Structure 1
Amino acid sequence: MTDKAISPLRRRLIEDMTIRRLSPKTHYQYIRHVKKFADFLGRSADKATAEDVHRYQLWLASIGTSVGTANVSATALRFFFKITLKRHDLAEELISTREPRRLPVVLSPEEVGRLLAAATNTKHRAILSLAYATGLRASEVGSRKLTDIDRDRMLIRVEQGKGKKDRYVILSPILLAILHEWWRVARKKGWMSPGQPWLFPGYRGQHTSARQLHRIVRLAAGRAGITKRVGVHTLRHCFATHLLEQKTDIRIIQVLLGHKKLDTTALYTRVAISTIGQVTSPLDFLRKMPG
């Protein structure tokens, strides 16, 4: 599809997403998938038929598209058909597949300790410590502001996290000391200039990006001799799992993580090794029964 042909549709799609306050990331994904569908058709997407939708989904499967990507495509096209084109018949043709539920990679407390010790500088240590101590998502770690740190209540405010929800997470005394040390170093180097809002300033007035955060984690993991595939989200998994192993109520963990459903948090019960290890097998009970 040519840019001239897609322009009116793209403009209307963008307007529909803007009205519904969808995030910039969602804008990008929806536009990309609608364009990919139009490129497959070789004509304007508003001329699609039910058979076209069927052929496209079959093609995605045939080229080995992951379940996650195929589901994002279906969500994007469903929005485009239902909201922008008012073609509910086409929206109903789209199939979403249940994605395989895999257990997250979790480091032991000893491995986390080695990871934090392997941080190359004060900023990296502060970032890794914040991620593990709070269970924040990568985007939430990087975008924290200085004003989010509430030392009086020992809380950190997370404004408009996933699902456009505000929440608070815990601020431990040790984390506060680490963050204060980072602030002192950054201020001395001129990185905390007046009006600069970010806890972890990046380039050109922006905060440290998620890509940079992942690089910091992988660098520390390499230095610590950790061979598991880790990222910022790994520390979030560690936070939840280690709290569960310390017998923290799962509903409290749910609130701290910002999960909408308890079922999502319950995934960590499958990787809480120390908790599993404390369960007595029914075979052992059987052997204790009088003969």
Structure 2
Amino acid sequence: MVSSNKKNHSGVKKPFRLEEIWRIRTRLEIENSLMQLALLNLAIDSKLRASDLLPLRVCDILSQERMFARVKLIQQETDVKVQFEVTARTQQSLMKWIFVADLKTSDYLFPSLRRNEQPISYSYYRSLVRSWASNIGLDPNLYGTHSMRRTKATLVYAKTKDIRAVQLLLGHTRVDNTIRYLGVELENVLILSESTDC
């Protein structure tokens, strides 16, 4: 039998809200955590699963010391091509991290400190996301690597209500996957219900 405590913490992880992202960014900037700041920014911009984000190499986002504004990638899990933006803020944090870490074009963007020629692990990435949540007073059990994938997608949807755009950004093959992923139907029903005065 699954304990109620465990049941509450499993399942879909929450996206971060915009103000929470800014609080995390500010904290990482104050702490001068260049790698974590670059990882946070790229994870939000790319909306990639950990399996696609962590294996990225410097050459995937940079050529002749020039950062790409857009990157194309074939997702490992679905074999579907996606394209994502690298905003000016993310470019700046990545350039700073690459320079300070003295990364070569063939190096992983986020190399493991413990394992040679390997990127940081999924479990380490997950622990970072949970610590970001915890450090700003959120319940870390409600956040994980998919929180990073969902954050910008939910912000785009909230601003545009364009489910097709979000589907393309996430590289989903079916729109109903995107609807389920964002929890759109439930959210819309709750908003309608709240605004209905009986």
Matched, 1:174 2:54: no
> What amino acid maps onto 1:126 in structure 2?
A
Residue 113 of structure 1, aligned match among 7, 10, 22: 22
Q: 2:130 matched to which residue of 1?
A: 218
> Structure 2: how far apart are the matches of 1:248 and 1:122?
34
In structure 2, relative to structure 1, the CA distance for the partners of 1:225 and 1:158 (3 Å cut) is same
Residues 1-291 of structure 1 mapped to structure 2, 5 A cutoff: 104-119=13-28, 120=31, 121-149=33-61, 154-187=69-102, 192-193=103-104, 196-202=106-112, 203-228=115-140, 229-247=142-160, 249-267=162-180, 268=182, 269-270=184-185, 277=191, 281=195
The alignment partner of 2:160 has SS state of coil
Q: Percent identity?
A: 25
Question: Is the CA contact (8 Å cut-off) linking 1:149 and 1:157 kept in structure 2?
Answer: no
In structure 2, relative to structure 1, the CA distance for the partners of 1:198 and 1:219 (3 Å cut) is same
> Structure 1: how far apart are the matches of 2:27 and 2:92?
18
Question: Is the CA contact (8 Å cut-off) linking 2:13 and 2:147 kept in structure 1?
Answer: yes
Aligned length in residues: 179
In structure 2, relative to structure 1, the CA distance for the partners of 1:107 and 1:226 (3 Å cut) is same
The alignment partner of 1:158 has SS state of strand
> What amino acid maps onto 1:176 in structure 2?
Q
Unmatched tracts of structure 2, length 5 or more: 3-10
> Structure 2: how far apart are the matches of 1:141 and 1:197?
14
TM-score (norm. length: structure 2): 0.76
Q: 1:22 matched to which residue of 2?
A: none
> Structure 1: how far apart are the matches of 2:89 and 2:145?
20
Tell me the CA shift for residue 206 of structure 1: 0.9
Report which of the two structures shows the higher radius of gyration computed on alpha carbons: 1
Question: Is the CA contact (8 Å cut-off) linking 1:139 and 1:209 kept in structure 2?
Answer: no
In structure 2, relative to structure 1, the CA distance for the partners of 1:246 and 1:209 (3 Å cut) is same
> Structure 2: how far apart are the matches of 1:265 and 1:181?
34
The alignment partner of 2:84 has SS state of strand
Unmatched tracts of structure 1, length 5 or more: 1-62, 65-101, 285-291
Tell me the CA shift for residue 168 of structure 1: 1.4
Task: Give the structure, 1 or 2, with the largest relative contact order (CA under 8 Å, sep 6 or more).
Answer: 2
TM-score (norm. length: structure 1): 0.54
> Structure 2: how far apart are the matches of 1:271 and 1:142?
32
> Structure 2: how far apart are the matches of 1:178 and 1:248?
30
In structure 2, relative to structure 1, the CA distance for the partners of 1:152 and 1:206 (3 Å cut) is closer
Question: Is the CA contact (8 Å cut-off) linking 1:242 and 1:272 kept in structure 2?
Answer: no
The alignment partner of 2:82 has SS state of strand
Tell me the CA shift for residue 234 of structure 1: 0.8
The Cα RMSD (Å) is 2.9
